[in-house]
Amino acid sequence: MEKEWKAYEIGELDQYLFGQGNHYEIYKKLGAHMVDDEGQEGVYFAVWAPNAKSVSVVGEFNDWDRTRNPMTRAEYIGIYTCFVPGVKEGMMYKFCIETITGEYHMKADPYANYAELRPGTASRITNIENLKWTDSSWMAAREKWNHKKEPMSVYEVHMGSWKRHPGTEDEGFYTYREFAKEITKYMKDMGYTHVEIMGIAEHPFDGSWGYQVTGYYAPTSRYGTPEDFAWMINYLHRNGIGVIMDWVPAHFPKDEHGLAEFDGTATYEYADPRKGEHPDWGTKIFDLGKNEVRNFLIANALFWVEHFHIDGLRVDAVASMLYLDYGKKDGEWVPNQYGGNENLEAVDFFKHLNTVVLGRNPGALMIAEESTAWPKVTGDVEDGGLGFSLKWNMGWMHDFTEYMKLDPYFRKDNHHMMTFAMSYAYSEDYILVLSHDEVVHLKCSMINKMPGLGFDKYANLKAGYAFMMGHAGKKLLFMGQDFAQLREWSEERELDWYLLEEPEHQAIQSWMRDLLHMYKKKQALYELDQSWEGFEWVNADDAYRSIYSFIRHSKDGKHNLLFVINFTPMEREDYRVGVPRKKQYKLILNSDDVKYGGNGEKRQNIYHAVKKECDGRPYSFGYKLPPYGVAVFEF
């Protein structure tokens, strides 16, 4: 008599959908799930290993003996299952894969939700079905939230090196719960809207910063349990902070316990090394031609957004997925069917991914870290686009940092570097980024990119940050740069918070805090971020004096902002700026204020435009612009 099928088991429909690449909640079936089987409590194990000769589950519950709990192969697509009674939460386990050549490999569970703390590599039994959420107000508001019309200033953070407990015997990491409380206080004070958490999925090597993932469905155990991770998200939401996490579908490491050659063959990766390996990174590339692999990744994105309430995924290394020859020499890559270098399978994958994730989760974000001129990254899928919500503006970042590094004497010859990004600013929905990548590998911290000594360095950085906050696009800044961290970032130590005892670092932090709060309060800085109507150059061509002036317009035309920024150490006693109307112009931000490290010279609050042509406009007013001075006026 055929045994009765139980709801937790892998059924024919599950296998069919998984084989088609459309089982969006496959993580509820594959992996290890605590169940009650007719009064007998235990764990139901399921793993996809299509080319394995046999599979068994081993762990603390059977003395890691591969003969004790063999798994049964389901009929269709190579899924192995078994029920093991008496297995308790917290127990460690792995899958023992017998390959077609008769070798045995011990593999961590690709769908595990919890892992042993590195250097251990086993998966752990856990139950994430009953997480406690009290963020219903946030989640309801998220459904109506539209990033195109709202402010978005992102604080990029590496949890293990933001702050650490001093003098502790272990590594001093903050737990998820401790981090949630501390980061919330900091972000509310500073005025950020979102936190972006680097590399939070389980990874074996600290030095990869979380970008070489072995446990795609597991928050890293470095900082606590999956329940602690959920508590952190819940706490941030209840305090009005959005949560973005880095997500890495581009590649995975070759660690023996991970996805590489999972069943003894190229299971998750392309079999041809010219397609399946990154020579620069020493990692494997997902085979996006396999439905089951695509399903693994798409369901994983949904897992974080739906099960853990993550508000957005910043998709790492998109360019490396789109181009078959990325980082490869001639002979190291295989052209597509038309002879081109585009990975057509990756294009199809992104369209599917973004359509499903954003279609099922209104208000969520899919953000592409994409560094090339690939068209329509944020364009609609129906119009040939990839369907992302936002794209990192790497072109702006490159031009900005190169300009800011220049001695002010040479800036007049490179004036275009700061204006060029506005020529393509509306070709995509952009986020301006000064990320962790810009302050590692001998690139210097932001403050040490600045030319000059002492005052000049800090004044340069203030001018640069003001330009960034006034420019069209959402904003992202890596931790430590908002108080002028001097050393390059390292994952091995916490930020140099002691610098905030020094007045110049306090001044940068005060400046950044006021810029962020101004950005959130003044709708001109975000309301028309995707429209030419929102940004207007007053003078984009004052190259000789290296001064930029521009206007940000509010939708109703009643709350406009005028920015004037001087990128040289030359004072302009009566800098005249053209304005559109004969109105009052109220000074709302002045870099010369004492609290920002300026001279504190007394200035009037209101400036009256007079009928005097300047910058091709009929009206203008004069303002004493100090060295590296920034002035923001509201009108």
Instruction: Render 259-317 in DSSP notation, one character per residue.
Output: STTTTSS-SSB-SSHHHHEETTTTEE-B-TTSHHHHHHHHHHHHIIIIIS---EEEETT
| CB 516 within 8 Å of CB 487 | no
Indicate the DSSP class of residue 524. Answer: G
The Cα–Cα gap between 184 and 237 comes to 10
Q: Which residues are catalytic?
A: 316, 369
Rounded-to-integer distance, Cα 334 and Cα 272, Å: 9
CA dihedral in degrees (172, 175, 178, 184; nearest 10)? Answer: 110
Q: Which residues contact 409 (CB under 8 A, 6 or more apart)?
A: none
- Residues recorded for the chain: 635
Cα gap 101→224, rounded to integer Å: 39
Going by C-alpha positions, the residue among 251, 248, 231 that lies closest to residue 239 is 231
3-state secondary structure 181-239: HHHHHHHHHHCCCEEEECCCEECCCHHHCCCCCCEEEEECHHHCCHHHHHHHHHHHHHC
Cα–Cα nearest to 487, from 505, 512, 513: 505
Q: How far is CA 614 from CA 252, 315, 577, 578, in A?
A: 57, 45, 6, 5
Cα 471 to Cα 476: distance, rounded to the nearest angstrom: 12
**Contact by Cβ (8 Å): 513, 468:** no
Contact 365, 244 (CB under 8 A): yes
Residue type for position 200 = I
Cβ–Cβ under 8 Å, residues 459 and 421: no
H helix or E strand, kind and range, residue 464: helix 455-470
Q: What does the block give as tokens for 511? A: 């400046």
Task: State how far the Cα of 336 lies from the Cα of 345, in Å rounded to an integer.
Answer: 9
> What SS3 class is residue 168?
coil
